Amino acid sequence: MLKGFTAPRSPLGIAALVPSPPWHFAGDVLAVEFWNDPDISAHILPTGVELDEQCRGRSVALFTDYQFTAQNDEHLDPARYQCRGFSILLDAIWKGIPIAWCPYCYVDNDAALMRGWIQGYPRKLGTVHQTRTFAAASLASAPLVHDGRFSACMSAHGRLLVQAGVTLRERAEHLGGMLDRRIVGRRYFPRLSAGLHDKPAVDELVRCVSGHPLITNVWIGEGELNFPEAYGEELEMLGPLKVGRGYRFSFSYSVTDIEVLADLTA
């Protein structure tokens, strides 16, 4: 019997690109809220999802730097299971419910790329960096203090796609409404059979179900954000007209489930 949550399925089930859930994540985030042009960003939404009229174009640019484990101490295999990612989340409405729509997402790791597709995140490979904070005092250690400065960037295939900065102003107990919407994505797996290239085998709107979400070490300040134009990408069309607050925090959560909102193949 072949085993494994994903391909390659194998006799022992340890060759699979993605191990079986539950999946656990712990990491650090640098985030910047911004507003893009709603007349443009409305066009990134699939049928059934609409911009949130209360906050047209409000979005978050999210840089993550995290460690992953499933059931086999994957965090003790850091070459395979540490990951850095970048996502955009756009305030939207699905059937009257506020959601965060994820139009673009990049990670630096193959297991995370495929895990994303399974979760409905449209991931591509990107190279992602953010300034880190270290325990020992130094000009190099970027402490979490008032006026502390952090940067982040993301590139793919040698093109810079996002550049961000955050200047910390004050420690906070919570994110104050930022990231309080459930993330909705789209699981999409095409057919290759002739004549069926536009009839995907899987096309579902899905909502993430996060277990044990935990946010800590929250700092809030001012953000900077820029999406340089790059050949072969459409990210810059969602670029900021206005930039808001910046955030730096640590997080953890688990994933074992997903909620299918709609089957779009029907």
Q: Which of 39, 48, 77, 145 binds its own copies (CB under 8 A)?
A: 77
What is the smallest separation between the CB atom of 226 and its own copies, expressed in angstroms? Answer: 11
What is the 8-class DSSP label of residue 182?
E
What is the smallest separation between the CB atom of 230 and its own copies, expressed in angstroms? Answer: 8
Identity of the residue, 54 or 110, whose beta carbon is nearer to its own copies in the bound complex: 110
- 7-66: which residues touch its own copies (CB under 8 A)? 7-12, 14-15, 17, 20-21, 24-28, 43-44, 46, 66
| Cα 134 to Cα 38: distance, rounded to the nearest angstrom | 39
Residues shown for the chain: 266
Which range, of 54-62, 91-99, 171-179, 182-190, touches its own copies by CB under 8 A? 182-190
Identity of the residue, 25 or 34, whose beta carbon is nearer to its own copies in the bound complex: 25
Identity of the residue, 54 or 70, whose beta carbon is nearer to its own copies in the bound complex: 70
What is the smallest separation between the CB atom of 121 and its own copies, expressed in angstroms? Answer: 8
What is the smallest separation between the CB atom of 172 and its own copies, expressed in angstroms? Answer: 15
Identity of the residue, 56 or 149, whose beta carbon is nearer to its own copies in the bound complex: 149
What is the smallest separation between the CB atom of 124 and its own copies, expressed in angstroms? Answer: 5
Identity of the residue, 34 or 106, whose beta carbon is nearer to its own copies in the bound complex: 106
Q: Structure tokens of 219?
A: 């700092």
- 109-168: which residues touch its own copies (CB under 8 A)? 110, 113-114, 117-119, 122-125, 127, 129-132, 134-142, 149-155, 157-160, 165
| Cα 263 to Cα 251: distance, rounded to the nearest angstrom | 31
Identity (one letter) of the amino acid at 77? D
In 3-state terms, what secondary structure has residue 110?
A: helix
Identity of the residue, 54 or 140, whose beta carbon is nearer to its own copies in the bound complex: 140
| Cα 44 to Cα 235: distance, rounded to the nearest angstrom | 10
What is the smallest separation between the CB atom of 205 and its own copies, expressed in angstroms? Answer: 12
What is the 8-class DSSP label of residue 232?
T
173: contact with its own copies by CB under 8 A: no
| Cα 223 to Cα 32: distance, rounded to the nearest angstrom | 5
What is the 8-class DSSP label of residue 248?
E
Contact (CB, 8 A) for 155 and 180: no
Identity (one letter) of the amino acid at 128? V
What is the smallest separation between the CB atom of 60 and its own copies, expressed in angstroms? Answer: 17
Q: Which of 39, 80, 97, 145 binds its own copies (CB under 8 A)?
A: 80
- 186-205: which residues touch its own copies (CB under 8 A)? 186-190, 192-194, 197, 201-202
Cis status, amide bond into 240, omega within 30 of 0? no
Contact (CB, 8 A) for 219 and 171: yes
Q: Is the dihedral of CA 142, 146, 149, 154 positive or negative?
A: positive
Contact (CB, 8 A) for 8 and 237: no
What is the smallest separation between the CB atom of 266 and its own copies, expressed in angstroms? Answer: 14
Quickly tell me which residue has 């994933």 as its tokens: 255
